[in-house]
A and B are shown apart, each in its own frame.
Chain A
């Protein structure tokens, strides 16, 4: 299991488009992805789940990946956050 802490850096927070992007990237890996915020843990391969997190600008999220390619998956998701979801 790989655990990473990230911060939401785009102004609009995680709305529908970034959520879809995360799911798209997560689905390229066989590892499971979970995202955690304020004691709430959701499946990172589900758009509605990610949106339900209510991740606004500057909120902190813990990324957990688990599976054969967990390192690559965590890196790819972390990169999305650092690139501000290309916004």
Chain B
């Protein structure tokens, strides 16, 4: 399980529309509490006194309704359910729509050592953003030895043994205007069992590359920001192999796949030998992958054409051979 505290949640560097706009307004000592689940709870029922099946391990999101209800409870001086809510080890509670709790609620939270966060977002927007982010954080991950590049918008993960030329291939691709996500160690995350996201293991060390004979290079500085990307969905695996004359390589375009973290990704095995321009092969593979996404399969269409032609040819032969007999 990932070790993730509420402080980490506040520290996340989320961009533009993903930004959760969170800030801590009370109970700072509770920021070290750990988050262990991707679930989110709306505490309407517990506030009204029903604590069966209360998911106290999830973040409690107070929308307009809950906040209004808390206010009502204060007016009636019946704060028992709030006391009871905070007696559970809840990770944190979030007040949406820029709302803030009263002094009494803050006191209860601080006494129980629970932090209170505030966001300017509405509860629906906030929940959506939080779900998405928690999914990414608690996703299954593996670290793979390979290079992840984006070629014509397709995330291509290049793997192969040490010294087969992965980094050199990626370098040539970058030179040709494509983008590097990570060299050497690629962290893959399974996002809701539907797709794989690849990124560098450590943002500080990302976009560096080791080229034999040159040492360690900073690609972002050498090629500019246009040549890099932080993360990208992995849509194609390319395995580079030393040319083995005894092995049969794919010749007509039948599809290989590989399953990583339970997600199946199309795969190509490309033999490497001097004089073979691997970057161009990968570029072409990426173009082909885009065509497939549009529903056009080169290999299948070709096969169809051949079949059609053979059919018409045999029909013609039949016709001519019949004619001769007349």
Contact = CB atoms under 8 A, between A and B. Distances in A.
Given A16-B216, A45-B162, A47-B210, A52 B202 contact: yes
Contact of B216 (A40, A41, A42, A47): A47
Contact of B184 (A27, A49, A54): A49
Contact of A52 (B162, B201, B209): B201
Interface in B190-216: 200-202, 205, 208-210, 216
B78 interface: no
Interface in A41-77: 41-43, 45-49, 51-52, 54
Main secondary structure of the interface of A (DSSP, over half): mixed
B185 interface: yes
Interface in B289-324: none
B260 to A, nearest CB: 14
Nearest to A38: B3
Interface residues of B, number: 14
B183 interface: yes
B175 to A, nearest CB: 19
B221 interface: no
Main secondary structure of the interface of B (DSSP, over half): strand
A40 B201 contact: yes
Nearest to B183: A48
Nearest to A51: B205
Contacts of B145: 42-43, 46, 49
Nearest to A43: B145
A5 to B, nearest CB: 19
Nearest to B206: A52
Interface string A1-44: 00000000000000010000000000100000000000011110
Indicate the size class of the contact surface on chain A: 10 to 19
B205 A48 contact: yes
A27 B162 CA distance: 9
B143 interface: yes
A81 to B, nearest CB: 20
Nearest to B162: A45
Given A42-B143, A43-B145, A43-B162, A52 B185 contact: yes
A64 B92 CA distance: 41
A30 to B, nearest CB: 11
A52 B216 contact: no
Contacts of B200: 52
Interface of B: 143, 145, 162, 183-185, 200-202, 205, 208-210, 216
6 contacts: A40-B143, A46-B210, A48-B185, A49-B184, A51-B205, A52-B200
Given A42-B145, A48-B208, 6 more contacts: A46-B184, A47-B216, A48-B183, A49-B184, A52-B185, A52-B200
